Amino acid sequence: MVFENFNVQAGNDASGVPTDMLTLNSTVRILYRNPATFFAVHVTSTPLEIHYFQLRLASGQMKKFTQSRKTQRKITTVVEGQQVPLYGGVGVLSNGREHLEKVSLPLNLTFVIRSRAYILGRLVKSKFYSRISCSVTLKGNRLGKPINLNHSCLYQ
């Protein structure tokens, strides 16, 4: 995962309430493997979402694809949030708006990968769901540098 852009500025939400507005741009790369020896799988995903506790800061949609048997591929997805109103919900950012390079913000990346295999044509269908939740810390001085999420993710 790479956080490319992170910006907090004053603004108004859709109803005209003045609040801090956050813009976040990041890229998530996933390695997907199909270890099956006899069938391909059709892969879709729920939107990839970045949360600060329960406040959704950014989201992005992975493109669906078909993965052949015994192959792997890297999927790149842009996860972004444009002018997200904070309403004072992120106290770390309200104090450090001028010094964003010193900010350390704990975030969660969550999504579900859905894989479907048609084993005997469409007669036998197998579904595989994987719920993935990753803990990541956005550090203002590490923008543009990749963050390895191998040991910080839970797969259910």
Q: What is the CATH number of the domain that holds 67?
A: 2.60.40
Burial of 120-135, coded b for 16+ CB within 10 Å and e otherwise, reads eeeeeeeeeeeebebe
Residue closest to 49 by CA, chosen among 62, 39, 40, 36: 62
- Which band of pLDDT confidence, cut at 50, 70 and 90, is reported for residue 94? low
The tens digit of pLDDT for each residue in 58-83 reads: 999 999 999 999 999 999 999 999 99
| pLDDT (tens digit per residue) in 6-37 | 888 888 888 888 988 999 999 999 999 999 88
Total domain count, the chain: 1
Domain that holds residue 20: 2-155
Q: What is the pLDDT of residue 68?
A: 94
